[in-house]
């Protein structure tokens, strides 16, 4: 109940009575952790100059990470304005506010948009311009939004609106921005949200897990009659997929395999905007599967995980790193798969066929763009998608349309791969007739790799995909990967909760009062306590149970208690209600 109350309190911004329990900054915290300004000090180097709201908590380690990740490497030579994003580990042992409410919203998100409580995202707007009045001859500053939400496009759009004005103005301006955010409705999936920021209204919709994958309900622009200027955002989280994959156009299918299998990947790019967009594009290419390993859209030698991730004493970890410092060409030489990207420009002509390059040829960061790996893909190349995209380039098809084609291609590939697994895992669920109200819910059957492989002959990916190749080898490799582990755990949890919910329904359909009259008081008290625990569990774990079922169970409990002697009634009415 508590979680629902918190959600209801935040979900009804127009109802003043419902909002009484909302504290200042609660709405802000649902979207952002804080806003930072990072500047360059000749004595100190990069330093956090401002944190807003002032009560926001960041540990020293988090501040250090933010400082280094908010500036491009000096060799990037980013003059003017640059936007990019990074991701860093949160310090452990931090209390999360509004926990039950945000968890509630998280449940309705597609799995790949769920928050990872161990990480923050940093969304950066960096400005570097010549300024003779300053000792270094340059003005260098970053405005950074720190958030747990992976809504790249939303925060990028927001920064475009506020950062240029902030650099011209002052701290008071930042306060105005933050108080705007503190008036936003909560980030509820599936609703059309109107987010006011500096006189503009951003209109958007956060996807839900119920949306059909690959469909994006269009958010229409408001009519001219609206008093305020509005911007309809086509997406909250997607990057321009085609633009990102352009430099490695011919290898998209191989890259999909590498990401699916959780292989160690490093993206070497000329600037943080290119590295971060490419890493985010890679992570999203296996959607609707969630990429379960760590990924860093922009990673520097100052990062707190630098030693852990670049050590040669063990095999490279399952992570995707985006880097710009030439030093990494040497440090990460032993990594098995390296993507080298030049400046991302949209091709005016059809890219030429590019071979996969051997790793030993990657000596410096000046090496030619391309994919350096000795990996042999399991699946045969799909020439059709290459032709389709090349035709789009020749016909000057807009990049958004090319991205839609590419996203659909990745989605169909991922779904063809995952459907046989979904089908097999569904068969591990016990039959409904095995569920008895008087016994504990039955267990799921064990996942057997051999049994799963046997199902592929008749019900494998060939039912939905025309691609030939070693699908069996791909599955064997995938079953050892962190992505399989994450996917299977979440399926297991869903199915276990479903069994608990079916067990609750079976209990509700019994005549429990009649049962209690046939049993001793001790057994009846035991039943009441067990039923109360079931109700608490249903609320705590948000079991997929109808409200009527829960009400019916509560009524059963009350009826049983009322049939007992008065002294027991008093004790039982007080027990287990907190």
User: In this structure, is residue 348 part of a structural domain?
Assistant: yes
Instruction: Please tell me whether residues 464 and 564 are part of one structural domain.
Output: no
Give the Cα separation of 296 and 366 in Å (integer). Answer: 22
Structural tokens at position 454: 């046997």
Sign for the pseudo-dihedral over CA of 308, 94, 188, 202 = negative
Residue finishing a domain among 149, 169, 188: 188
Q: Does residue 215 lie within any of the structural domains?
A: no
Residue 330 falls within a domain, yes or no?
yes
pLDDT of amino acid 458: 87
How far from the centroid of its chain's Cα atoms is residue 114's Cα? 5
Do 475 and 543 fall into the same domain? no
pLDDT value, residue 522? 83
- pLDDT at position 440 is 82
- Asked if residues 344 and 243 have their Cβ atoms less than 8 Å apart, the reply is yes
pLDDT of residue 221: 55
What is the model's pLDDT at position 436?
Answer: 81
On whether residue 250 sits in a domain, the answer given is: yes
Q: What is the reported pTM?
A: 0.87
Distance, CA of 252 to CA of 245 (rounded, Å): 7
Classify residue 218: in a domain, yes or no.
no
Residues 532 and 439 in one domain: no
pLDDT at position 507 is 83
Predicted pLDDT at 449:
94
Question: Which residues have CB under 8 Å from 449's CB, separation 6+?
Answer: 476, 479
pLDDT at 359: 59
Q: What is residue 353's predicted lDDT score, i.e. its pLDDT?
A: 53
Same domain for 537 and 482: no
pLDDT of residue 161: 92
Q: Which domain holds residue 255?
A: 245-489
Do 395 and 427 have their domain in common? yes
CA–CA distances in Å: residue 233 to residues 26, 32, 210, 236, 257: 24, 18, 20, 7, 30
Q: Which two tokens stand for residue 68?
A: 């280094």
Q: How many CB atoms lie within 10 A of CB 107?
A: 13
What pLDDT score was predicted for residue 76? 64
Check: CB of residue 499 under 8 Å from CB of residue 444: yes
With respect to residue 446, please indicate whether it lies within any of the assigned structural domains: yes
Same domain, 124 and 266: no
Domain end call among 144, 164, 188:
188
The contacts of residue 267 (CB under 8 Å, 6+ apart) are: 275, 278, 279, 282, 320, 321, 322, 323, 339, 341
In a domain? residue 335: yes
In a domain, 92, yes or no: yes
304 shares its domain with 433: yes
158 and 264 in a single domain? The answer is no
Q: Both tokens of residue 41?
A: 């000090």
Q: 351 by DSSP, 3-state: which?
A: coil
Shared-domain flag, residues 530 and 423: no
**In CATH, what number is assigned to the domain containing residue 179?**
3.30.450.200
Number of C-beta neighbours around residue 209 at 10 A = 16
Same domain, 312 and 446: yes
Assign residue 366 the CATH number of its domain: 3.40.50.11500
DSSP conformation class of 56: -
> How many CB atoms neighbour CB 364 within 10 A?
8
Number of compact structural domains in the chain: 3
Nearest to 78 by CA among 128, 41, 122: 128
Q: What is the dihedral of CA 459, 464, 470, 472, to 10 degrees?
A: -30
Task: Look at residue 485 in the predicted model and tell me its pLDDT.
Answer: 96
Q: How many CB atoms lie within 10 A of CB 37?
A: 19
Residue 19: predicted pLDDT? 39
Residue 565, phi then psi, degrees to nearest 5: -60, 155
In this structure, the answer to whether residues 536 and 448 fall within a common structural domain is: no
Q: What is the pLDDT of residue 379?
A: 95
Do 181 and 256 fall into the same domain?
no
Ranges of the chain whose pLDDT falls below 70: 1-22, 74-77, 93-103, 216-229, 343-355, 357-367, 575-578
Single out the residue in 148, 169, 188 at which a domain terminates.
Answer: 188
């Amino acid at each position: 109940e508590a979680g629902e109350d918190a959600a209801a309190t935040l979900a009804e911004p127009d109802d003043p009575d419902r909002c009484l329990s909302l504290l200042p900054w609660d709405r802000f915290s649902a979207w952002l952790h804080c806003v930072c300004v990072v500047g360059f000090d000749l004595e100190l180097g990069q330093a956090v100059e401002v944190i807003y709201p002032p009560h926001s908590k960041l540990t020293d380690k988090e501040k250090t990470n933010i400082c280094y990740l908010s500036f491009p490497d000096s060799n990037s030579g980013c003059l003017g304005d640059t936007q990019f994003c990074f991701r860093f580990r949160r310090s452990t042992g931090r209390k999360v506010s509004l926990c039950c409410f945000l968890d509630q919203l998280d449940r309705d998100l597609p799995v790949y948009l769920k928050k990872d409580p161990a990480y923050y995202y940093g969304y950066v707007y960096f400005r570097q311009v010549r300024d003779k009045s300053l000792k270094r001859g340059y003005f260098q500053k970053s405005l950074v939004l720190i958030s747990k939400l992976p809504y790249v496009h939303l925060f990028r759009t927001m920064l475009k609106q506020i950062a240029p004005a902030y650099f011209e103005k002052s701290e008071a301006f930042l306060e105005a921005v933050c108080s705007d955010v503190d008036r936003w409705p909560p980030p509820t999936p599936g609703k059309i949200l109107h987010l006011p920021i500096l006189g503009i209204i951003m209109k958007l919709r956060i996807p839900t897990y119920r949306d059909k994958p690959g469909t994006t309900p269009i958010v229409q622009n408001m009519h001219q009659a609206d008093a305020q200027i509005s911007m309809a955002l086509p997406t909250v989280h997607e990057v321009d997929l085609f633009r990102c994959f352009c430099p490695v156009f011919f290898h998209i299918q191989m890259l999909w395999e590498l990401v699916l299998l959780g292989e160690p990947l490093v993206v070497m790019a000329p600037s943080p905007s290119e590295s971060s967009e490419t890493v985010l594009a890679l992570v999203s290419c296996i959607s609707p599967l969630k990429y379960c390993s760590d990924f860093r859209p922009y990673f520097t030698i100052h990062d707190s995980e630098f030693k852990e991730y670049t050590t040669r004493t063990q095999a490279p970890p399952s992570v995707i790193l985006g880097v710009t410092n030439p030093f990494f060409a040497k440090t990460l030489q032993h990594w098995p798969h390296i993507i080298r990207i030049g400046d991302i420009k949209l091709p005016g002509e059809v890219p030429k066929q590019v071979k996969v390059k051997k790793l030993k040829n990657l000596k410096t960061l000046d090496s030619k763009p391309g994919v350096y790996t000795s990996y042999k893909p399991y699946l045969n190349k799909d020439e059709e998608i290459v032709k389709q995209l090349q035709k789009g380039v020749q016909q000057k098809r807009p990049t958004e349309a090319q991205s839609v084609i590419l996203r659909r291609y990745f989605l169909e590939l991922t779904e063809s791969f995952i459907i046989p697994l979904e089908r097999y895992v569904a068969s591990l669920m016990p039959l409904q007739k095995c569920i008895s109200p008087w016994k504990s819910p039955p267990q799921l059957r064990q996942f057997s790799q051999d049994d799963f492989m046997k199902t592929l002959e008749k019900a494998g990916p060939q039912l939905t995909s025309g691609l030939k190749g070693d699908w069996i080898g791909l599955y064997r490799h995938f079953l050892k990967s962190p992505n399989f582990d994450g996917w299977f755990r979440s399926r297991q949890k869903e199915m276990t909760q479903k069994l608990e919910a079916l067990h609750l329904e079976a209990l509700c359909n019994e005549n429990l009062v009649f049962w209690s009259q046939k049993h001793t008081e001790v057994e009846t008290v035991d039943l009441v306590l067990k039923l109360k625990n079931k109700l608490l569990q249903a609320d705590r774990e948000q079991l997929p149970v109808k409200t009527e079922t829960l009400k019916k169970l509560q009524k059963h409990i009350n009826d049983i208690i009322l049939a007992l002697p008065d002294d027991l009634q008093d004790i039982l009415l007080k027990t287990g209600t907190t």
